[in-house]
Copies of this chain bind each other. A is one copy, B any other.
Amino acid sequence: MREFPGTPGTLTSLFLRITQCVFAAGSIAAMATAPNFTGITAFCYLIASMGLQVAWSFALAVLDGIALVKKKVLHNPLLVSLFIVGDWVTALLSLAAASSSAGVAVLYFNDLGNCGFGEECQKYQLSVALAFLGWVSVSISSLIMLWLFAAG
């Protein structure tokens, strides 16, 4: 399999994985510090989905780090298929979670005039924004993986 920026075991890949982890962790932190989020299903789903993204991206970041240090190439077709499935599942769940939370956040901010929860509202917005950034980052990884697999 060819090696190009973003494939497993490169610096770009490590950077992408760390970005995903940071955005997802930031989204969880912003949401979890807003006391009333547990009453809204979409926000709980966002936390669960971002938790999965943190776990997945962290595991792959560690793998990339090990491959970089030991100068190993992670281009085993079986491993790449596993990465593709994991990345696509994570990306789809992240998009769905970010969108459903965005729907609720926009409902409170625009449709019902203003958000009645006080300063928590900014945390909701921040959490949704970070979740979308995390989705962009994980979808870049998914496309690179798919490309690597298709290019053989």
A111 pairs with B150, CB closer than 8 A: no
Name A107's contact: one of B99, B104, B146, B150 (CB within 8 Å).
Answer: B104
> What 1/0 mask marks residues of chain A from 104 to 129 whose CB sits below 8 Å from any chain B CB?
10110011000000000000000000
Number of interface residues of A (CB under 8 A): 20
Q: Taking the complex as formed, is A95 at the interface, i.e. its CB lies under 8 A from any CB of chain B?
A: yes
Stoichiometry, copies per complex: 2
| A59 contacts the other chain (CB 8 A) | no
* Set of chain B residues within 8 Å of A96, measured between Cβ atoms: 95, 99
Q: Once the chains bind, are B99 and A40 in contact (CB under 8 Å)?
A: no
Query: Are A103 and B111 touching (Cβ within 8 A)?
Result: no
Residue of B nearest to A105 (CB): B103
Which A62-107 residues sit within 8 Å CB-CB of chain B?
92, 95-97, 99-104, 106-107
Shortest CB-to-CB span from A152 to chain B, Å, is 10
A106 cross-chain contacts in B, Cβ below 8 A: 41-42, 100
Pick the contact of A111: B40, B102, B110, B111 (CB < 8 A).
B40
Most buried by B among A39, A102, A146: A102
Nearest B residue (CB) for A101 = B103
> Which 7 pairs of residues, A with B, have the shortest CB-CB distance?
A100-B103, A42-B103, A99-B99, A103-B103, A96-B99, A150-B150, A99-B100
Q: A100-B103, A103-B104 are in contact. List 9 more A-B contacts (CB 8 A).
A: A39-B111, A41-B111, A92-B95, A96-B99, A100-B100, A101-B103, A104-B107, A146-B146, A150-B150
